[in-house]
Amino acid sequence: MSKPEKIVAVKGMNDILPADAPMWELFENTAETILKSYGYQKIVTPIVEDTSLFARAIGAVTDIVEKEMYSFEDSMNGDQLTLRPEGTASVVRAVLEHNLVYDGPKRLWYKGPMFRHERPQRGRYRQFFQFGAEAVGFSGPDIDAELIMLCRRLWDDLGLQNVRLELNSIGNADERQRHRADLIAFFEQNEAVLDAEAKRRLHSNPLRILDTKNPAMQEMVNGAPKLLDYLGEESLAHLNGLKKILDRNAVQYTINPRLVRGLDYYNRTVFEWVTDELGAQGTICAGGRYDPLIEQFGGKATPAVGFAMGIERIIELMKGLGETQAPSQCDVYMVHQGEEAQAQAFILAERLRDAGLDVVLHCATPAGSGSFKSQMKKADGSGAAFAVIIGDDEMAGEKAAVKAMRGEAGEQQQASVPFLEVVDYVVDQIVGGGGEHDCVDENCNEHGHHHRP
Ligand code: ATP
Ligand code: MG
């Protein structure tokens, strides 16, 4: 028989393996706790939407819509569908579809995979995960500041230090229009310096040229007309209001007049959290205001602002913080030898889980069930605090051997505990190191919930 061809993951789409999963969980738990502490509610939207949703929301001349979307025809009915490249369009669709803002503004958050057909490289993938927030129905700089400050709290809680905030205002459509005319004229005067992509964007999306990563264009771009100088009174007041709140709350930022967003729907406030530790893909969070979007979608004019974080990039930063200890798989590892012992091990394992403990029961592999010695090695590798051991002798005496796995070698205690007392014994050992059951939870009815050391 010829060996079957190996199937691998789609290029640019990554597995998150068990070794990394705890880091992802830590990020998600921390972020969700913080979002909740600011009054944000979770929203989940489908991964697939009508292509027209993204084409209309994001804008026809953006990177995403021009070349990055995974679009396909539904073979059942010919619908044009797209794997979502970002979260805001879907959230706005859901807000309108379900009239979520009928009783006032909403603070929302989401997480999940996004899909863009990009050239895979460090920090840039074809499936990547975003964590985002959208505040819909708020118009002032106060909510912009709140979103920025909850990001700061997240970086602090995760222990990320070398992250800085860049801020800009891209004004409103009129202001951008006036700036755009001058910008195109400026770029035309400097045509010799423009690369092919910039030339292509000159008349479609000249603002985006400011965002170029081409070193040869940096000096020219630095001298380009600044949108900040075109802002009217209201846009300026919004920016100054935001700066004032940030200043009073000791949030550091730099104004970056060249900061724009790749998506069409933004206005006024735009911001990015950036680090130098990830090479070229240094933006870990990007956000801004998109006041015109909901009306463009046929809803009642409703201002909104949000951000999206790239989780892979944040995980990479978290990994840079140093070795994290591999978490234990369980509290108790069940070791057993013989059919009767296995039956007893199943029963005890279920009762330990009833008491809230995490229990791994040794199971057979093609190599067999393994000797006591090899099973104890597995128990050790699992990181369990205790091994509960049952063999012929234990069955005869109706007692299990309970071995503490974490003490110094040689000091590891082993006790012989009647089957009926194993749960109490292990719970007591884990909670109080033996002796009285001294649970800190006053609602504790003995051992009916999870005890971790
Ligand atoms: P860029 O200019 O780097 O292409 P973008 O404007 O396309 O960025 P956004 O659409 O604002 O990025 O996405 C928000 C965040 O999501 C980014 O700051 C980044 O952290 C993350 N992100 C975007 N695209 C990818 C990708 N292909 N792979 C991994 N993370 C990504
Ligand atoms: Mg992009």
Contact predicate 372/380, CB 8 Å: no
Residue with tokens 């200890």: 325
Q: Is 130 a known ligand-binding residue?
A: yes
Whole-prediction pTM: 0.87
Tell me which residue has its CA closest to atom 20 in ligand 1: 310
Q: Give me the architecture of the 332-448 domain, per CATH.
A: 3-Layer(aba) Sandwich (3.40)
Beta strands at 399-404 and 304-310: parallel, antiparallel or unpaired: unpaired
Nearest Cα to Cα of residue 418 among 389, 437, 433, 397: 397
Residue 252 CA, ligand 1 centroid: distance in Å: 23
Judged on CB neighbours under 10 Å (0-12, 13-18, 19+), 192 is exposed
* N-to-C CA span, the chain: 53
Q: Is 414 a known ligand-binding residue?
A: no
Tell me which residue has its CA closest to atom 2 in ligand 1: 262
d(CA 243, CA 215) in angstroms, rounded, equals: 30
Portions of the chain given CATH number 3.30.930.10: 21-171+231-319
d(CA 258, CA 208) in angstroms, rounded, equals: 9
Q: Is 261 a known ligand-binding residue?
A: yes
Pocket-testing residue among 128, 147, 170, ligand 1, by greatest number of atoms within 8 A of Cβ: 128
List the chain pLDDT tens, one digit each, 453 residues.
688 899 999 999 999 999 899 999 999 999 999 999 999 999 999 999 999 999 988 877 678 887 899 999 999 999 999 999 999 999 999 999 999 999 999 999 999 999 999 999 999 999 999 999 999 999 999 999 999 999 999 999 999 999 999 999 999 989 988 999 999 999 999 999 999 999 998 988 888 898 888 999 999 999 999 989 999 999 999 999 999 999 999 999 999 988 887 666 789 999 999 999 998 889 999 999 999 999 988 999 999 999 999 999 999 999 998 766 677 889 999 999 999 999 999 999 999 999 999 999 999 999 999 999 999 999 999 999 999 999 999 999 999 999 999 876 556 689 999 999 999 999 998 887 544 444 444 444 444 444 443
d(CA 94, CA 96) in angstroms, rounded, equals: 5
The finding on whether 163 has its CB within 6 A of some atom of ligand 1 is no
Count of beta carbons in the 10 Å neighbourhood of residue 103: 8
The finding on whether 84 has its CB within 6 A of some atom of ligand 1 is no
d(CA 322, CA 301) in angstroms, rounded, equals: 48
Would you say domain 21-171+231-319 falls under CATH 3.30.930.10?
Answer: yes
Residue 375 CA, ligand 1 centroid: distance in Å: 46
Count of beta carbons in the 10 Å neighbourhood of residue 335: 25
Tell me which residue has its CA closest to atom 19 in ligand 1: 310
Tell me which residue has its CA closest to atom 6 in ligand 1: 262
Portions of the chain given CATH number 3.40.50.800: 332-448
